[in-house]
A = this chain, B = another copy of it.
Amino acid sequence: MTKEELFQQIKLKHSFLCVGLDTDMEKIPKHLMKEKNPMLAFNKAIIDATKDYCVSYKINTAFYEAYGTQGWDTMQQTLEYIPKNIFTIADAKRGDIGNTSNQYARAFFETLSFDSITLAPYMGKDSLAPFFNYANKWGIVLALTSNPGSADFEQKQSGEKKLYENVIDTFSSIAPSTQLMFVVGATKPQELGEIRKRVPDYFFLVPGVGAQGGSLADVAKHGMNATCGLLINASRSIIYADNTELFAVKAKEEAQKMAQEMAALLLQYKII
């Protein structure tokens, strides 16, 4: 999917919501256990319920790998079920030496047809370069994450600047805003504003709104740009809003509520 197509979807749906499919067999409603593939049944119901309110789905690969070959198959079937006009993210945090990253790019961009994959930058520029060889596919590089451990390395000085700033400068120098996004947590709105000034045109994938304490209004205030520039992820607050037979109805209500807040912000900042 191109950047222009993603922006069109945002304007069409009045939403910049990404729903995270962190599907955990121990948390899904018990009545689904009678299904042949409970995880897939859950994901399909969640997608049906939320697809009008989000512009992206993020599949957290760990939750599927935990079930081995069958889990990998469920990931593939879930991906295929997502409507083609919705931006898909493999939240896989991959990254390795070049010839290995080539294989990861094949895995997620060819064998599975994701629009994008999240990437871990530790090994440097050459380690992620292979992901930017695909037209209309995206790498989403970890910059400043929302967990406490972001203080251990990301926020430390790295030469003249902080490590996450060095990561942003390094990768924005090799990939344009049509192929590269950054992960920036919602829990640090001040830093998010400074990152926006650093890379005005790039999209940010933003976790940490809701349960982790980040505010949607603060993120929009500090992070929105002329093409929105934000995908706000919500996982557990939507997909586990309820664990009865009404789970999909409640998930829809939560997604709709977030999309309504987003529509108001898109209006406020004159994006729509």
Partner-B contacts on A (CB < 8 A): 22, 24, 60, 62-63, 65-69, 71-73, 76, 91, 93-101, 103-104, 106-108, 110-112, 120-127, 142, 145-154, 156-159, 163, 166-167, 170
Contacts and interface: CB of A to CB of B under 8 A. Distances in A.
Which 8 A-B pairs rank lowest in CB-CB distance, beginning with the nearest? A124-B149, A124-B152, A62-B103, A65-B107, A126-B149, A120-B120, A68-B111, A66-B106
A183 to B, nearest CB: 10
B126 A148 contact: yes
18 contacts: A62-B101, A66-B104, A66-B111, A69-B69, A69-B72, A91-B96, A121-B122, A123-B150, A124-B148, A124-B152, A124-B154, A152-B166, A153-B158, A153-B163, A153-B167, A156-B163, A157-B158, A163-B163
Given A66-B103, A68-B107, A147 B121 contact: no
Contacts of A159: 156-157
B124 A151 contact: yes
Contacts of A149: 123-127
B166 A147 contact: no
Residue among A101, A108, A120, A170 facing the most chain B CB atoms (10 A cut-off): A120
Contacts of A125: 149, 152
Contacts of A66: 103-104, 106-107, 110-111
